[in-house]
Structure 1
Amino acid sequence: MDYVKPVDVASAMVNTGRMKLGLTPTDLIVRGALAGSVLGAATSLAFTGALQTGVPLVGALIFPVGLGIIVLLGLDLVTGSFGLLPLPCIEKTGDPRTMFMNWVYVFIGNLIGSMAYGALLAIALTNFGSTAPTGVAAQIIAVAQAKTTGYAAFGFAGMVTVFVKAMLCNWMVCLAIVMAMTSASTVGKLAALWMPMLIFFGQGFEHSVVNMFVIPTGMLMGAKVSMAQWWLWNQIPVTLGNLVGGSIFTGLALYLTHKPKDSAPAPLTMPSQVPAE
C-alpha cells in the first residue's frame, strides 16, 4: 500500500524535525538557499501562467511545482521548519536554542536564494535594465507594492490583515509538507502536497519566503517600496504569522491527535481449568 497512516505520519513528523535539528549551519544555509531560489522560480512561473491566460487560478495550479521539488530533494524552507521542529522539543529530544538557531540559518539561506534568483530574473526581464518593466516584471512590481504600501495604507488594520493572511498561509504550507508524508511514492507525494498549496496561493495568502523573492525583486525593478516598508509591513509580521500558523494549526494540532499512544496493557485472563483425571 502506498498510503501512510496518520499515526505513522505523526512519527515521521517528529523524526523529520529531529533530523533537521541535527544539520550543520552550512547544510541549513545551502539547503535554504536552494529552496528559496526554487520557490522564487515557481512564483515567477505562476505569475507568467496567470498573465498569459488571464486566469489567476492557473498560477495557483502551477505554483506547487516549487514545493514538490523542495520536498523531493530534501531542501529546507523556514516555514516548513516552523511546523516540524517544535515537535522533538515537546518530546524532550530536541533543544529550543538549537531549534531557534536552525530557523535563523534557514531564514538566512532562504533570503539569499530568493534574492539571488530575483536579481537574475530582473536582469532577464529588463535586458539588464535597458528596457522598462512590462508583463511579468510589471506584475511583480504591482504585487510588491500591494504587499507593503498596500497594507500600510490601512494602518493597524493592515498589520492585522497581513498577520492573519500569514497564519492562514503557513497552516496550508505545513499541511502540504505533512501531506507529502502520507505517501511512499513520488507521484503520491506530489499529488498530496498539491492540494494545500493550491488553497494557499489561489487565495493570495502571505508566505515569508515567497515575499523574500517578490518584494526585493520588485524594488530592483522600480517598485516604490523602501527597505523599512518591506520589513515592517510584510517580512517581519508575515514571518511571525507563518510561525504561529504552521506550528499551532498544523504541527502541534496533528501531533496531539495522532501521536503514537502507549499500548494498553493486555487484559488479565484466568488460566484455563484442566479437569482432573
Structure 2
Amino acid sequence: MTDKRFLTPAEALNATVENGRRVLTQSLARTVLLSLLAGFYIAFGAQLATVVTQDAALHVGQGVARLLGGSVFSVGLMLVVICGAELFTGNSLLTVALLHGEITWVKMLENWGVVLLGNLAGSLFFAWLMVESRLWENGAVGDQAVRIAAAKCAIPFGAALIRGILCNWLVCLAVLMATAARDVGGKMLACYVPIMTFVTSGFEHSVANMYFIPTGLLVAGARGTTEPDLSWGAFMGNVVPVTIGNVIGGVIFVAIAYWFIHLKKEGKQA
C-alpha cells in the first residue's frame, strides 16, 4: 500500500476507520490542544482571505475575487491535514468508525463536543490577536472584515443551514481525498480544490465563521462603530444553523454514503 501513489476510496475509508480509533485512547489534553490548533489554522486562512478580497473585486471582478479568496483560504485545511489538528467539521468522518463498530456514540459525541469548543476558543483567541495587532485598525481590510461578518449575520436560518450542508459535504470530501493522497503535494491539492469550491460558491463553514464574525465585531467595537445586522446574538444565529448543516453534510453525504458503498458488509455492527 505504501508504494501506491494514492489509495482507492475503499482503502481511504479503511484508513479513516483506523484514524477514528484514536478517540478511544487519546487524552483530553491532547484533544483540546489539537482542537485549539485547528481553530488557529482555519483562522490563518480566513484572515488571509479577508486581506486578499478587500479590493480584488475592483480589479478582477466579484467572481474572480471570490475565487482568489477561496484559493488562499484553503491554506487552513492544508495546515490541519498536514500538520495535524482536530477540526470539528472534518471529524464528521468519525461516523465511519462508528458505523464500522470501532467506536461508540459516547466517544464520538464526546470528541465532537470537546473539538467544537476547542475550535471556538482558538478562533476567538486568533480574532483577538488580529484586532490587537492593529493591522486592520483603519483602512480597507478592517472594512472588509466588518462587511464579511455583517453579511454572514444577515443570512436567514434556513439558508445558513443549507449552505452549511453544502460546505461540509465538500470539506469532508477534501479530507477523504487528502487521506487517499500519499505525499504532501497530493494532500495540498486534495485540500485546495474542494475548499476553493465551497468558499467561491458562498457556502458556510462553522469554524471559519467562529473567526470571521467575532473579528468583525471586535474591529467594529475598536472603531466605535455599529452595524445593524452585527451582534453577538446574530453570531449565534449564524453559527447554530451552520453547525447543524455542517454535521448533516459531512455525516450523511460523505460518511454514511461511502461507508455504505465500501464498508457496510465488513462492519462489526452492520
TM bucket, shorter chain: 0.7 to 0.9
* Superimposed CA distance per residue, residues 153-212 of structure 1 (whole angstroms, 9 cap, x where no aligned partner): xxxxx2110100000000001110001012111111111221111111111111000011
Alpha carbons 2:13, 2:96 under 8 Å: kept: no
Shift, 1:242, TM fit: 0.4
Alpha carbons 2:17, 2:102 under 8 Å: kept: no
2:14 equivalent to 1:11: yes
Shift, 1:29, TM fit: 1.2
Shift, 1:80, TM fit: 0.6
Alpha carbons 2:164, 2:246 under 8 Å: kept: yes
Partner of 1:86: 95
Q: Distance in 1 between matches of 2:8 and 2:165?
A: 26
Partner of 2:119: 110
Partner of 1:33: 36
SS at structure 1 position matched to 2:89: helix
Partner of 2:144: 139
Alpha carbons 2:161, 2:245 under 8 Å: kept: yes
Partner of 2:233: 228
SS at structure 1 position matched to 2:180: coil
Partner of 1:122: 131
- Return 221-230 or 240-249, whichever deviates more: 221-230
Shift, 1:21, TM fit: 4.4
Amino acid at match of 1:210: A
Partner of 1:188: 186
Shift, 1:219, TM fit: 0.9
Shift, 1:52, TM fit: 4.5
Query: Over aligned residues, Cα RMSD in angstroms?
Result: 1.6
Shift, 1:137, TM fit: 1.4
Count of residues in correspondence between the two structures: 249
Q: Distance in 1 between matches of 2:207 and 2:78?
A: 15
Q: Distance in 2 between matches of 1:212 and 1:237?
A: 13
Q: What does 1:174-213 correspond to in 2, within 5 Å?
A: 174-213=172-211
Shift, 1:259, TM fit: 2.0
Alpha carbons 1:2, 1:188 under 8 Å: kept: no
Partner of 1:247: 251
SS at structure 2 position matched to 1:94: coil
Larger fraction in helix = 2
CA distance 1:66–1:126, change in 2 (3 Å): closer
* Superimposed CA distance per residue, residues 52-105 of structure 1 (whole angstroms, 9 cap, x where no aligned partner): 5332211111111111111011201000112x2122221222111111111111
Amino acid at match of 1:104: G
Partner of 2:214: 216
* Superimposed CA distance per residue, residues 22-53 of structure 1 (whole angstroms, 9 cap, x where no aligned partner): 32221111111111111111111112122253
Q: Distance in 2 between matches of 1:20 and 1:52?
A: 43
Partner of 1:75: 85
Q: Which consecutive segments of 4 or more residues in structure 1 shift more than 6 A?
A: none
Q: Distance in 1 between matches of 2:24 and 2:177?
A: 21
Partner of 1:46: 49
Question: 5+ unaligned residues in a row in structure 2: which ranges?
Answer: 58-64, 221-225
Alpha carbons 1:44, 1:136 under 8 Å: kept: no
Shift, 1:260, TM fit: 7.4
Larger radius of gyration between Structure 1 and Structure 2: 1
State the TM-score, normalized to the length of structure 1.
0.85
